[in-house]
Amino acid sequence: MQNMIVNYLAPRAVHACAVGSSALVGLFLVVASSVHAAPLPDFTELVKDNEAAVVNISTVGEAPRRMNPGGPRSDQLEEFFRRFGPPQQRENQPRLRPRSLGSGFVIESDGYILTNNHVVDGAEKIMVRLSNREEYEAELVGTDPRSDLALLKVSADKKLPALTMGDSDKLEVGEWVLAIGSPFGFDYSVTAGIVSAKGRSLSNPQTGNYVPFIQTDVAINPGNSGGPLFNLDGEVVGINSQIYSNSGGFMGVSFAIPIEMAMDVVSQLKDKGRVSRGWLGVEILEVSRDLALSYGLQRPHGALVARVMEGSPAADAGLQEEDIIIEFNGQDIERSGELPQYVGRAPVGEPSRLTVMRSGKKKKLSVTIGELPEQASLTTTPRQSAQDNKIGLTFRDLSEQAKEQLGIDGGVEVITARGLAGEAGLMPRDIILRMRTKPVVDSEALDDIIADVKPGSIVPVLVLRQQRRIFLTLKVPEDD
């Protein structure tokens, strides 16, 4: 290998410098000295000091299967064989209770543990395993699906090692970071990389745009979810949560929840068991270059108001459609996805300052921020169907306001879809409009339709999903 390097470099060095061998040696010394002056970081002490506070999390429950960084590898294989295995295997394979492998970490020595919501979502039982292989059954203190966070508590007869929280606001792009977790169930695996970007907004129908993600190139895979992201001082600056992937595996882009946001969620979950966020009550769009020019902006920035919800804080403040929000409480809005992050963290019930572009002129508004509704005001108190109906579906009525907003006369919202309903492709927050060619006016009507479903039948289901209508088919097996 050394000969290859010399043969490749020597001719070029001689050609460029036209010097003898002594000068060439000097050139190599300068290069070696430069490399020595900026060594790669040594993570060994960081790992030794902190790995004991990182935990492995396994769950047993009936949560829907999903492909995500915290998803169970065994469930992915089971799903593969169920779909693509030999027919006999598909028919005879027993249904395993889903078992999820994820990560988490101790934030307080009295047993509080932080992880991702998707790691424990729908679990009947949550088990936490420490680095010394001690296991505890964890209590679920609370969850916040919008930030994808969950707070657990274990009762141990001793103080547990806890991690030190850092300041993710001080992170710099290009800074080294390190992750510890359990990818594919391989406990306490360590991976490292750099911060690639900050404040990333990831559009997600379930979580919205409330998390300003830290983007890194740290290798994150299924099982890493919920694990800590450290800076070089051994402080937690983020919680590994998502990856961008076409294959389900790591492709060089991963995302972590900033620890400041996570600890605010922890504080609210401990105090009141839920998380409240600010709510403005607008639908917004990105400002393109052409839109910026047409609205009198010198460059594309801000959030274009596409709709102001009736009775919302925005409506009360006088915000109008086609306003472009360019500043919120002194923070410039460069991209539309930044606005929900700022509004979500704003104090509920207190005035906030808005700067908008309206008809080519700047206008300042004061708005009293409301509290973000649990389902964005689309549903009333749930009237839930029986948990054990024969297709595995639970659902609730829509409010009149929701039906008006969606432009429909009837329908019900899916809460959970398991069993036959899950296999048909139904998902939480789907709106069922028709089933078995009959209109689904409300929950009572859907209960009647489900009760009349015959074994061996194929049932068409018309669904409204993210403003788009699709048909699904529910296949009911023959009775044994």
Kindly report, residue by residue over 84-93, the tens digit of the pLDDT: 344 444 444 4
Going by DSSP bridges, is the β-strand pair 235-243/164-165 parallel, antiparallel, or unpaired? parallel
The fold of the 40-275 domain, in CATH, is Thrombin, subunit H (2.40.10)
Q: Quote the pLDDT of residue 310.
A: 84
Give Cβ neighbours of residue 71 (< 8 Å, ≥ 6 apart). 65, 100, 118, 222, 225
Separation CA 176–CA 9 (nearest Å): 31
Domain residue extents for the chain: 2-37, 40-275, 278-371, 393-475
Which is nearest to 376 in space by CA: 408, 406, 410?
Answer: 406
* 418-439 residue pLDDT tens: 888 888 899 988 999 988 878 8
Q: Are 354 and 325 in contact (CB under 8 A)?
A: yes
**Which residues are CB-neighbours of 329 under 8 A, at least 6 positions away?**
342, 346, 352, 353
Would you state the pLDDT for residue 38?
A: 61
Least confident of 17-26, 163-172, 192-201, 337-346: 17-26
Choice between 144 and 97, residue whose per-residue pLDDT is larger: 144
- What is residue 269's predicted lDDT score, i.e. its pLDDT? 93
CA distances in angstroms from 428 to 69, 90, 233, 394, 465, listed in the order given: 20, 26, 41, 9, 10
Q: How confident is the model at residue 394 (pLDDT cuts 50, 70, 90)?
A: confident
pLDDT at 81: 36
pTM: 0.63
Domain 393-475 annotated CATH 3.30.70.1450: no
| DSSP state letter for 52 | G
- With beta carbons less than 8 A apart as the criterion, state whether 135 and 144 touch: no
Residues catalogued as catalytic: 118, 148, 225
Task: Taking residues 146-172, report their average pLDDT.
Answer: 94
- The CATH superfamily assigned to 278-371 is PDZ domain (2.30.42.10)
Domain 278-371 and domain 393-475, same fold? Reply is yes
Mean pLDDT, range 350-358, rounded to an integer: 94
Which CA distances in Å does 368 have to 173, 214, 329?
34, 29, 12
Alpha-carbon distance of 276 to 97, in angstroms, equals 33
